[in-house]
Structure 1
Amino acid sequence: MIWELLLGLAIALIIGRWRQNKLHAELNQILAILDTGGAEGNSLPILSRLRLGVTIFKRQTQQLEIQLQNYRYLLEQLPLGYLVVDAENQLLCCNQQARELLYLSNWEPNQKRFLLEVVRSYELDRLIEQTRTAQKSTQKEWIFYPQTIDRQPGERLTLSSEQVSLRGYAVPLPDREIAVFLENLQSLVEISQQRDRTVSDLAHELRTPLTSIRLVTETLLKRLQPPERGWVEKMLQETNRLIDLAQHFLELNHLEQDPSQCLTIEPVELKSLIFSAWNTLEPFAQSKQLELIYTGSELVQLEGDRARLTQVFLNLLDNSIKYSPKNGKVEVEVKVLDPSKLQVNVIDSGNGFTPTDLPYVFDRLFRTDLSRQKHSTDLAQLTTGNGLGLAIARQIILAHRGTIKAMNHPQTQGAWLQIELPRFWLSKE
């Protein structure tokens, strides 16, 4: 009986000692996390060290809360809009600038709501999904038309007369959350529109005096003999170039303001149209021994403006001829993507676009980098361009509800201009 009591006591002491050692080990692990590393702290009793560690932990927590408040304040004062959505596209946070840009008048902080419940923007939703899928930063520009989302029962969904040009930068976060920075581009768009209007008005005012100068120059040219005649011919050439520049500016402005009204829609056979444009430029192509190679679908028809589409291919083929070397080739490939859409690829045998040029090749008055010109043997031909050909081509393609983009071909390394057009014209509703 005594032995049993002593045995039980020994077992209890062993268990108690084991539990005590385990508790000390757990406390030491906690202190290892909170430990300041000082020798004085290590010499204190374990309970004092624990109290010291808890004090330090509270101080660090307070510092982190202050930092978090500072970050929140900075995000609120940020000149860019900022919002975060979770994996289910619920809006987690949104600063004041984003609320103003997206017209979020009925969203409150710490209020979880699906993004589509508070703002109807397909482009924003698409940007978020692309970033979540790719798991890398993505950006997109679009025009946002505010809508009245939160409305009374029975009230119709209304569109605001205002519009805002936005640029969004989306960044992936842990747990499939996405952060989006929004930049208001409306002021830049308005400045650009005002600039274009000013230049267009100036071009309109210049056209009449330039025409008068041309008439006087042509009359004078008939009465002169060399060498004076050569100087007047040069003046006439430059006058004609200025008239063409003014006319192209007016045409481009007209296309941008009311694109669909500039078109006369009729059935167009694409291959014959392309060869007609090439035949117009053939003397220039023959001087460089260039060959046109047409591949793809034969007898493809679409509904479009024959004159405008001819102008597109004149501009694109002229650009390809200019920058192709002697004895090179210009490739045109036509593909039918589906019964209602086709694709046209125009590829030259030059150096291609430089990376710095690519974003701007369709801008007004843009002239390509000199490195792209080294294959050309006719520098005069390069310098007489007015930088509006590709800009006009783009506006005509947009008027036909198509797209055009510039790339470099991965095999030939030449410039690659790709057009996609609907085959059938759909009237406006």
Structure 2
Amino acid sequence: GWWFWRNIALYGDWSGLGHLMEINGRRQSELTLAAFLPEFDGLRFSSWGLFGWFNILLPGWFYRLMDAVTVVGLAGALLHTLRRWRTRGRGTDGDDSSLYVLLMLWLWLAMMALLLLYWTVQATGSQGRLLFPAIAAFAVLLVAGIDFWLRWLPATGRALVWSALLGLLVAMSIYALGWLLPRSYYASTPVATVPPDAQPVAITYGDAETIRLLAAKVGAERVRPGEAVPVTLFWQAPASLTHDYQLFLQLLGENGAEIANLTTHPGWGRNPTTFWQPGAIYADPYLLRVTGAVDAWSPLAARLYVGLVDPATAETTRLPLPAYTADGASITPIAGRVVVEPGTAPDAAALGLAPAGSEFGGVIRLAATAVPATWSGGDDGALAVDLLWEAVGTPATDFTAFVHLRSAGGEQVAGFDQAPAGDRFPTSAWRDGDR
């Protein structure tokens, strides 16, 4: 009716989805399973209870319990529906109207799931509110499914289970509104000093007014895709600030590819920069989850990029604040690094490499190679050589490997020098067993 006409009049799109996707942000790459799983966590959490800017969570056990309730309830609802289908028209379970209601509820739930899948494939971010149109159907099916299992219990047992479940939901609502939210919005207080285990970075942001990132503490040296990296930033403003700056953290690969991203305000919004006391130091902790895929041919030494943006600037010109060293030189604000390990290490046999075994300095071994038996120069004059490196210790510096082709007389015919894994994985980040 009028709602669809309004969407056409305003956006030229009867559903309004196209305009909403432009605001929310379209996916720049194909959605993979590795990227979907963290989003699915956000979908589940925000369906049952999630506050703030996706950063104030209920206890983890509550989400796991409600996952179990959902699985058990929907399984029971499905079995109940199948049972009603088998007995339809027989009058053993009453008339068939309840069966038709169940089928309509399942149909509506399936439609909402397909629409959510369409949205998730096209746009970034899946939130539980997108499932709210299905909440009535979901609730009825959940109750019917749980009651299907409880029919084996006596009346007293059924009453106890329902009372416990409803009491838990009421208690969590009181806890969230009466305890969790008030405590979560307490303003951040300054710390006396930067702890010694934080890495000094001394990055200055901005021109007209400045913010200093004194240090950063990365709480995990190594993670795998899907895991989160604890990061604590230590900020200081030399003078009072007039703008509330937005903060973003990214983990970048060797070509600048983004594998983790978090956009927020300092203190998750509890500590806007206009509230900062001049000269005070503020500790700002985050969990930065790795959502991007990592190639399996080696670990990745991802760089931690920390940027600030003035949200008051126009949307089309919103750019990160310039970053400088203490001497005023312009820099890219890299505040640390973390090694992201692929799921599997390269296997010499699977890659068709021949064992080598040369060892360098007791810390690096050339485990296997693949060198063509003959070479005619090729179209580009390059000889393709595959090398599989393995750490047998902890290198103290960033080494460079050189590969030289020599003639029978010992003269160098060709050569190529670079770090064993390029910029992707400097040897100073290697640990025993890395490949």
TM-score by length of 2: 0.19
Higher normalized helix content (fraction of residues): 1
* Structure possessing the higher relative contact order (Cα contacts under 8 Å, 6 or more residues apart): 2
Task: Answer with 1 or 2: which has the greater Rg.
Answer: 1
Higher normalized strand content (fraction of residues): 2
